[in-house]
Every structure is written in structure tokens, then in C-alpha cells.
Amino acid sequence: MSETLDVIRGVIEDVVGPEWSVDRPITMETSFGSDLELESIEFVALAEKLQARYEKVDFVRWLSEKELEEIIELKVGDVVAYIDTCH
Amino acid sequence: MPLIAAAGRAFHIQKLGSGPPVVLIHGLVIGNLATWFFGVAPLLARGRSVLLYDQRGHGLSAPAESGFDLATSSADLGGVLSAVGGFSGPVDVVGHSYGGAVALRFALDEPERVRRVVVLDAPLPPFDPAEVASMMKEVDEDQMRQLIELDHRQFSELAARLAAGRGRRGALRADRARHLREGTTVTADLMAEAPIDAAGLARLERPVLCVYGSRSPFRARADELAAILPDARIVELHGGHLLPLECPAEVVRVVEEFLDG
């Protein structure tokens, strides 16, 4: 699980970009919407990068089936758990 | 991230589902592929092959300094369709806001590549300077929700007041809108757009569905289109301009009904 968390941390930093360096450590409790303030197009980018990293995980579909409000509430731990259940 | 080369530049695309092909075109400035990704696209993808793309200078497509006119946007769409497998034959074309004007222009430019057209709350050229000014502003998500049911006058006032947005998301959007406004020809291109080709539209042998919000500033455009087009129908949905975000299920219901009809 910690390995998955490390991968997701890297992907988040990649999506968010150096000019928006995250000033708090990314944990399982970090929320994509309220903590990281990801924009909707950044969620799409995140999904695509995770999809490329984990071929077995249909992350794009998983995310696209959620309501925007659900996505805003998503925590890093939710994504880690989803990825780990696919393996 | 899925990028394809078309018209000499990189476009970010997404494909969902399988079935008859339909391409979705977002609006300018506040639009990108995410307009569809979390609502309309997955619902339509239950029975169709859905293609989404970020228009030039938008979303995750390559930055662009110019080419925000309907002729170039239509050519971009043609290039994207040619570059993506399964979309080279006649496709259904759905456009929101400026994307709706692109859809109509593409149907005029390349009718043989279009099966049916859906225009979602689109302005029509020549674009109203006040409308363009509103589009150049930026707002955060809560404020966008508020915009949905306001009339045009209120839209402009609110958009101006809240242009800066708040937090990281608001700042990003404000930066992007500022870049489009100050670093590209988008405003000039919109203002220079020629009036819509009414004679061409009058000869357009393609069914067109005009879906407009009951409280949208563009509502009257549906009637203008229906008066020109030989085969048009109007559906009015309760709401404002941002129908794909406000009521994606309703939008999909009327679009599917039209495309299947």
C-alpha cells in the first residue's frame, strides 16, 4: 500500500506542477478537492497518468462514473485502496 | 496522457465506450474536455463511441497563440477526427457554447463527415462584445454554479466581480483566462468572426437539435437557428448556459433521443 501511495504522490506532484508545490505532505487523508484543489481537467490528467502506470486499473472509467461532487471529496486513500483492490 | 497530432499540433483526446461515433466539442475559456468527462461523456458512452478533445490552447492540448476562429476550429476538428481511429466516416457532432458554433461550421465545411448535429446553448456570430467580455472572465466552481441560472446582465456583473476566483483552483482559472485574454488572439478572433452563413445553413441537409437553457442569455439563438435551418428542432431545458455541467443526464436523454431517432 505504501508503494502505491508513493506512486500516487509522484503522479500528483507531476500533475500539480512545480509552481504549485504542495506545502503539506500528501497522506492517505489528503483530499484532492479541498486540500490539493485539483481542477477538473487535472483530475482527468491524474486519471490518465495512473492509467498509464497501472495497466490493469481502468481508472479513467472509475473516475468518469463518479459525480463531480464525489470526486471533489475523494481522498488519496480512496485511490490507493481502489488501485490495490485491482491487483 | 493521450495526445494526437493533427493540423500540425498536439491535441489531448479521450475516448470512451463503443458504438456509433459521436464527438463532443467544448466551449472556449471556461471549457475543456472536463466539461463532458464527469457527466455527459460516460452516460453517452453506454451505447456509443465518444470522442472528447481539448480545443487548441485549452485543457491539456498544446498552447496556441492564435486560431480561435470558427474556420480554424472547424479545421482542427476535421484533423482530430482524421487522426483518431473510427471517426473518419460520418459522425454525430455535439458542441456546447462556442463548440456548438464549431459544430455548425464543420457541418457546413464538411457535410459528408457529419451525420447529425447537436447545438448546446451556443452563441452565433457575430458575437456580442458583452458576451465575449463575459467569457474572458473567470470564476471558480461555486460561482459557476451560481452563474447557471442568472440572466445575461447579472452574468456580466457577477463574472466581473468574481473574476479573480479564490484559492489554487480559482487562481489557476484566472491565470488561464488572463493568458487567453492577453497572450492570445482569442478576443480579437471572436470579435472578427463573420456573421453566420445563413444561406449555407438554409441548405444544410443534416438534422440539427438545438438544446438551450430556459434562462440562458443565448436562448433566443435557438429560434434564430430553427428559422434558418431546413431540419431543426428545439428542446428547452430548465437552466442556464452551462447545461452539460448543470444537468448532464437531461442533456444526454434529449441527445440520445435525437441521435437514435
Beta sheet of B49-53, edge-to-edge order: B3-6, B9-16, B49-53, B21-25, B91-96, B114-120, B208-213, B232-237
Three-state DSSP at B249 gives: helix
Per-residue pLDDT averaged across B123-151, rounded?
A: 63
Q: Collect all residues of chain A within an 8 Å Cβ-Cβ radius of residue B172.
A: 20, 39
The shortest C-alpha distance from B168 to chain A (Å) reads 6
Predicted structure pTM score: 0.89
Which residues of B lie inside 8 Å of A (Cβ-Cβ)?
1-2, 14, 16, 32-34, 37-39, 41-42, 45, 54, 59-60, 167-169, 172-173, 245
DSSP A34-49: TTT---HHHHHHHHHH
| Residues of chain B above pLDDT 70, percent | 86
**Cell numbers standing for residue A19:** 509552481
Give whole-number Cα distances, B28 to A8, A67, B25, B196, in Å.
31, 23, 10, 18
Q: Tell me whether the omega of the peptide bond preceding residue B230 falls within 30 degrees of 0, making it cis.
A: no
**What is the pairing mode between strands B208-213 and B114-120?**
parallel
Per-residue pLDDT averaged across B62-83, rounded?
A: 97
Task: Compare all CA atoms of chain A with the CA of B16 and give the residue at the minimum distance.
Answer: A61
pLDDT at B95: 98
**Predicted confidence (pLDDT) at residue B148 exceeds the cutoff of 80:** no
pLDDT at B216: 84
State the first-to-last Cα distance of chain A, in angstroms, to the nearest integer: 11
